[in-house]
Structure 1
Amino acid sequence: MTGEVARPKVSAFVTRADGRLLVFSHSESPDAGIQVPAGGIEPGEDPAAAAIRETEEESGFTGFTVERFVDRRLIREQRHGRTELHDRWFFRLIAPDGLPEQWRHGEGTGPDADDWIPFDFFWIDPDAEPLPLTPDHAEVFRRLRDQS
């Protein structure tokens, strides 16, 4: 890892009043697994603000609030044939009232309408075992859940 620059990223564990956790799947890429809102931190951006921004962009809703910072880790991720080092910040966010049980939204990855990636959002029981998240997200979320 010498000389390698870690890309700053955030992950958001969004819960609502009943305790369920917001997750999504990529309908066009089921191999991506079940995920929580996440993405890059812009240069000069506060990581907590990035967690809210990424959650709003990916979900299509606003009104999320940061409850607290959870953890920060260097994680080596392998995706789409690439290996990257991420400086990942984890936050717990509170969902606004009134979000649906499930919905589809997404974000664009380029200038063309064809570059839109749909995300299928839904809520899961945070006590489910096995927890259907990526291993690094599941580990951090279990620790968060156990501390609550």
Structure 2
Amino acid sequence: MENSTKTENTIDLRRLWMLLRAHIWSIILWTVGLGAVGFILAAFVVEPIIGAYGDLVYCWIEKEKDGAYRITDDGGTLFKLDPAQENFDLLEEAADIVIGAGFEFDEDNSEIYQIVDLENMAQTLSDLTQLQVALTYLAS
């Protein structure tokens, strides 16, 4: 017979509750402090990017199954410019600009996107926001 030692990992809820109660003020102070830092950064330091019509520019990041990231405008940029998608000259010109800037263009959804790895995500986000602002001035 083999002599083995078993280690049981159990969670004592009473002990966890006592730890929580002992450190409640520390938890509250850290939460309020970091929330205040986040608010100050969002309100006073970070400046939003605004398009030609005065509205904010949005980008979405979706993680693909293979680990790459899809950075997209979700079709919002060209929808703002031509909601009914009736101005085919504008859409064609915008598609040419998007493809010329190195992005992909889904004609069915008027979506601008690019699939990148983690290293190139920040630069691609910057490029997409600049492209979105440039496109809003195209129709104004």
* Smaller-chain TM-score bracket: under 0.3
Normalized against structure 1, the TM-score is what?
0.26
Greater share of helix: 2
The higher-RCO structure (CA 8 Å, 6+ apart) is: 1
Please state which structure has a larger fraction of its residues in strand.
1
Q: Which has the larger radius of gyration?
A: 2
TM-score (norm 2): 0.28
